[in-house]
Amino acid sequence: MNLTVIGTGYVGLVTGACFAEMGNDVTCVDTDAAKVARLAAGEIPIHEPGLESIVAANLKAGRLRFTTTLPEAMAASTIYFIAVGTPPGENGAADLQYVLAVARAIGRNLREYSVIVDKSTVPVGTADRVTAVIQEELAARGAAIPFDVVSNPEFLKEGAAVEDFMRPDRIIVGSESERARAVLRELYAPFTHSHERTLFMGTREAEMTKYTANAMLATRISFMNEIANLCDRLGVDVESVRQGIGADSRIGYAFIYPGCGYGGSCFPKDVTALIRTAEDNGFDPTVLRAVSARNDSQKQLLAEKIRARFGTKLAGKTFAVWGLAFKPGTDDLREAPSAVLLQALIAAGARVQAHDPVAMAAARRELPADWFDGQRLTLVDDPYAALAGAEALILVTEWKPYRHPDFARIKQLLKQPVIFDGRNQYDPAQLKHLGFEYHGVGRRS
């Protein structure tokens, strides 16, 4: 099948590459000419395991192309995926200007029956707005061309997006049109060969499903973080509690790991957007507000623990930070807990020496330039180099290379044998035996 994917960000690029991998002819469209040129040369702007090889293979095979010209791409296909950004507006609602701009461009160039697929995460009612915009453009042309708008939200985890796309838990297709459903059923057939994974529903239900899924996962994280903070005050080890509740088949172990807060491009934005949707419809989203508030507080937790241990004035002190990305497997720093920690430490006068296996370049681009100019933040290529002369090690992102480090070497390099474990990766009893002072999240140390 011939497809057009508009937007080559995280969702669009993975979507286009994975559809091409299954034998489809895919043209990806983006307005950023420099980015398109890099992609056409096989250069991937994001870190996502497995993506670079898939893009390279399908570029070579001629099944994947990149262009800045939407009419050119539309001439060869009748299925159009909208995968542009929906950043939060000033009031927290999803900003649909890019989605609607693409819809207008599609309306101006539509030639025959087509299926327009909302792949971006969008509020309930967006498919109706996209439909209205396309109809406006067709009316202005005096054209009566049939089309359908489908909601087909993505459920991709950064760091495992290719695997998630190729082997999905489920495929949500929101459409009231049997004709459009048939098109999407055929398109996704290779992904559901072993057993049926496609769930058909209305467009509004599909849009709501995406937001609800992310809000549910964020709720589990914030709930467990709240329990961990209470465990801190009660002298209870939350790890035992986590194992105890996770063994309950009704609960399970997914997303109940306490830590220093969630980040990324999805959970914070989507919870906030759902809160705004509720408010706009006269409903008070009490639970969602609590989820968001707990996460905001949780991102301050490591800084609070450091101030409690070293005092509020940290001038003359250096701290080592392991992990900058919001989670392992990605170089994404959006809403990362590390940024909140760095801001607090630097504001208190501290110097920071930080390491991340893949997010160093992103950190140099996205963190404030004056942090580097004033040598308040130094990025080092070796995790142990970050420890030299530091008062303590602070683990923020649970990358695999950090999970079983050389503790004897850590102790030798630090000024004091102090570890703040923002992801509960280490065993407090083991570290105590090794002579460390340990501070976890709800861990009895």
Residue 229 to residue 293: CA distance in whole angstroms: 14
| Residue 266 annotated among the catalytic residues of the structure | yes
Residue 289 to residue 306: CA distance in whole angstroms: 27
Tens-place pLDDT, residues 27-75: 999 999 999 999 999 999 999 999 999 999 999 999 999 999 999 999 9
3-state DSSP call for residue 395?
Answer: strand
Tens-place pLDDT, residues 374-414: 789 999 999 999 999 999 999 999 999 999 999 999 999 99
- Give the model's pLDDT for residue 444: 83
Catalytic residue among 18, 28, 260, 266: 266
With bands split at pLDDT 50, 70 and 90, how would you rate the model's confidence at 373?
Answer: confident
Does residue 445 have a pLDDT over 90? no
Do the Cβ atoms of 36 and 59 come closer than 8 Å?
A: no
- Give the model's pLDDT for residue 91: 84
Average pLDDT on 421-438 reads 97
For residue 214, what are the CA distances in angstroms to 208, 223, 299?
Answer: 10, 14, 19
Tens-place pLDDT, residues 240-289: 999 999 999 999 999 999 999 999 989 999 999 999 999 999 999 999 99
- Give the model's pLDDT for residue 195: 79
Residue 158 to residue 406: CA distance in whole angstroms: 28
- Give the model's pLDDT for residue 94: 87
Residue 167 to residue 26: CA distance in whole angstroms: 19
- pLDDT over 70 percentage in the chain: 100
With bands split at pLDDT 50, 70 and 90, how would you rate the model's confidence at 89?
Answer: confident
